[in-house]
Each structure stands twice: as C-alpha cells, then as structure tokens.
Amino acid sequence: MRISFLLHNAYGIGGTIRTTFNLARVLAERHEVEIVSVFRHRDEPMLGAPAGVTMRHLVDLRKNSPEYDGNHPDYAKPARVFPRGDGRWKQYSRLTDERIAAHLRNLEADVVVGTRPGLNVHIARQTRRGPVRVGQEHLTLDSHGYRLRREIGHRYVLLDAVTTVTEADARSYRTRLKLPGVRIDAVPNSVPAPSVPPADPASKVVVAAGRLTKVKRYDVLVDAFAKVVAARPDWQLRIYGTGDATGNERGALEKQVTEHGIGGNVTFMGTANPMEPEWAKGSIAAVTSRLESFGMTIVEAMRCGLPVVATDCPHGPREIIEDGVDGRLVPVGDVDAVAAALLELIEDDELRATTARAARTAAERFDPVRIAALHESLWTELVARGGTGRPRNRARDAFQQLRGTLLDAAYGVRYRAADILRGKR
C-alpha cells in the first residue's frame, strides 16, 4: 500500500509525532510510506526521521530557507477551511488552506491519514475519488469544545474510518455522533521496546513525567509523596517535564514542596529526551492526572519495567493497567489513596519486583509491530472494499459539503454576534 500521513509539525516534540513516527517506521518495512508535515520550522526532526519514510512539508517557516513562507501574503490571513474549534487554528492561514488542498488534490496514495481534527476536516472535505480517508483521534471527543465537536459531527461523515486510542473514546464517537457508514475502531498508541536494561526494583525512586499542567495534578502527587516521606524518608520523587509558557505551575509546586519540608526528597528534573534512561533509574512510576486521552507515559514506564500507580481517570489508564497485577488504579484526586498505593509497593520488595515483571510483559501488547498490524488490517480491508463499502457518491458528498458550508456560515454569524455582545469587536 501507499500510505500518506498528514501531520501538524513533524519537526517538533509531542506524543502524536512520536506515535506517528513509530507507526510509520514499522509500516515502511512493507509499504510505501510518507509523512507530510504542514509546517517545517527546523532542518531536521527533533525526534529523528523514521527510517524508510519519505518526509515532505507544505509550509516552510525556516527563516534561513530560500523557500521561507513567513512573508507570503496569505500567511497572515486567517484560515477558512481549518476549523476554528481546533486549538491550533491561530497557526493556520489561507496559505495552509491552499497548500493542504493542493496536496490532497494531487495525492497519489491508497490511504491518507489525518492526525488531528483540523487536518481530518481537510481530508473529509476532499470529495474526489481517491485514497481511503482515515481520521485519527489522539485526544478524546470529550476534550474538544462544542464548536469543534459540531464540526466533527458534520464533516467526519465523509471519512471512511475514524480511529481512537481507547475503546472508551470509540464508544463516545459511536453513540454521540451520527456517522453512518463510517468505521470507528479503537487502536492504541504504540511504544517501542526500550533500548536500556530494565529498571532495578531495588531503586528507591518514584518517577513521574509529563507537562507541568494542572490537568496532570502534580499537586496531588506532591501531597501524597509527603505522606510517603513521613514513613520512608529514604525514597525520592523525580518529576520530569516543563510547564506552559502561560503559567507558573512549577513555581506553585516548588512552593508546595517547601511547605511540606520535603525539598530533599523531590526534584524537578526538567525535560529529558530520550526518557527511557530516566524511567530505568526508578522502580515505581506515578500518574495522578484527572484526564488522560491515552497514557503514553504509563506504557513507556511499564515497558521499562516500572509498575505504575495511576488515577483511574478517563480514558486510558483502565485500558492499560490491570489493577493489582501490573500496577495500581486509585480514585482521581485522592491523596491518601495515592500515598497508600505507593507505600504498598515501597514496603514490599518482592511485590514491587513481581509487579514490575508483570508490567513489562503486559506492555508488550503496545509494541509498534503489533499496533501497526491492527492499522494495516483495517486499511487493507477498506482499500479492498473501496472505502467504507458504500459507493462513493458525488451527489451525496456534494450535499454534505453544502450542508457543512451552510452550517459554517450560520455558526459564523452566531459567533461573530457573540463576540460583539462581549465587546470583542
């Protein structure tokens, strides 16, 4: 098969980039695979280009490049096709609308895969006969605002398939949206086998990793670890990640650590890339989020041989961890439960070692080869059937396009009126 991925920016760092690279690298062993990045802001991908995969870009933002697009007149004009509800909308423009449309019109592939809602909408709006159209959901339907969910509801009907990273989110798509004939499957993200030896269960270090944002609830983890230190002052907590430019989450957490008097036990490590060697320095991982679209850090830690104490939040942890076997699931926001779960593993060396082995074994199901086979099976079936199995009908597709355009116009008036009432215009 000829497979083309459409990615926001393949030259940065992020979970969607990483899992797309993992998948593309494996698929390239048997298929012709390309990754088309809407934006390119640096010469080489920060995560390293996946072997065997063709890399292309549509808009060049490298100021030293002879093809620099930052001064193009359409680059300053707001996007019309890329939906406003997508959180990246401000980065898109009339220029990206035109470049993406031209790319899709001329695309010679069997399957085209979008990797975020705004790009999935672009793919859905290309109604000519051509490749099987797949939209990937790397977050969750619930995490999107009303405006984007509305766009998804009336645009995704023109896709052939939607894949989510959890079965819980797939159920949301099936039950809450009317997408007749669109295949909706759950296919989790992939994490390769670590390149470092497994973690030593004797290590007295708890590791947490992820952006320092409120949704990750590191405040709960710090409070819980203060209770751990009261019982076992010989243990350490290392938190990896940086915060948003708009907030000072790290400052608030450092103040919290100081107030507990556990500054000697908690270290903010900043960003680590790769993260595998850092996971391997611990013996337990902790995830205290109030929401996870999947839980890449959970799988990464388990693959390195760490049992994970995680909050039982929507959507991912319950589909990754078997409570009491390869990790622990605790209620969201429950400081005492997090502390108790950590101490259960800390106080029992044999239990910690047994749970670590179970975590490594369980996480093998997320190996890129296994995950690639799931995508490959779905796409092969859709290609053989000519998409969803419904005949491509230009009249029907044109009607859906017209419906979407009219809805766009109606909601555009509504939102402009709301802005006026709020004094924004």
What is the rounded distance in angstroms from the CA atom of residue 243 to the CA atom of residue 161? 35
Residue-level pLDDT, tens digit, the chain, 425 residues: 999 999 999 999 888 999 999 999 999 999 999 999 999 999 999 999 999 999 999 999 999 999 999 999 999 999 999 999 999 999 999 999 999 999 999 999 999 999 999 999 999 998 666 899 999 999 999 999 999 999 999 999 999 999 999 999 999 999 999 999 999 999 999 999 999 999 999 999 999 999 999 999 999 999 999 999 999 999 999 999 988 655 689 999 999 999 999 999 999 999 898 899 999 999 999 999 999 999 999 999 999 999 999 999 988 999 999 999 999 999 999 999 999 999 999 999 999 999 999 999 999 999 999 999 999 999 999 999 886 544 444 544 454 445 555 555 544 444 444 444 444 43
Task: Confirm if 173 and 184 have CB atoms less than 8 A apart.
Answer: yes
Write down the pLDDT at residue 244.
65
Copy the structure tokens of residue 371.
Answer: 């995950």
Write down the pLDDT at residue 248.
86
Would you say the CATH fold of 205-365 matches that of 2-190+370-392?
A: yes
Task: Confirm if 331 and 337 have CB atoms less than 8 A apart.
Answer: yes
Burial environment of residue 117 by CB neighbours within 10 A (0 to 12, 13 to 18, 19 or more): buried
Q: End-to-end distance of the chain based on CA atoms, in angstroms?
A: 50
What is the rounded distance in angstroms from the CA atom of residue 6 to the CA atom of residue 115? 6
**Residue ranges per structural domain of the chain:** 2-190+370-392, 205-365
pTM: 0.86
CA 190 to chain centre: 11
Q: Determine the topology of domain 2-190+370-392 in CATH.
A: Rossmann fold (3.40.50)
What is the rounded distance in angstroms from the CA atom of residue 332 to the CA atom of residue 113? 34
Burial environment of residue 54 by CB neighbours within 10 A (0 to 12, 13 to 18, 19 or more): middle
Write down the pLDDT at residue 91.
97
CATH numeric code, 205-365: 3.40.50.2000
